[in-house]
Amino acid sequence: MTLLATPWNENSFTCTCCGGVYHTIWGEIGDGSEAVAVYYVSWTEGEQRH
């Protein structure tokens, strides 16, 4: 089975506590005919722990 990640949306803004750029992206993992999972990922550039 081949799976594809399809992003639904993304968002970026400057974090108020550290000043780093904070990113969020979310979407679905599917096989072309239906979604088999959803994902939500967020991170701040240059910050190992946030």
- Per-residue model confidence as pLDDT tens digits over 22-47: 999 999 999 988 999 999 999 988 87
Does 17 map to a domain? yes
Assigned token pair, 49: 């722990």
Does 50 map to a domain? no
Does 30 map to a domain? yes
Find residue 5's DSSP bridge partners.
29
* pTM strictly above 0.75: no
> Which residues form the domain of 29?
4-44
Find residue 6's DSSP bridge partners.
28
Does 14 map to a domain? yes
Does 26 map to a domain? yes
What is residue 39's predicted lDDT score, i.e. its pLDDT? 96
More confident residue, 32 or 4: 4
Find out whether 13 and 22 touch, Cβ atoms under 8 Å: yes
Does 49 map to a domain? no
Task: Specify the DSSP element, H or E, that contains 5.
Answer: strand 4-14
- Number of separate domains in the chain: 1
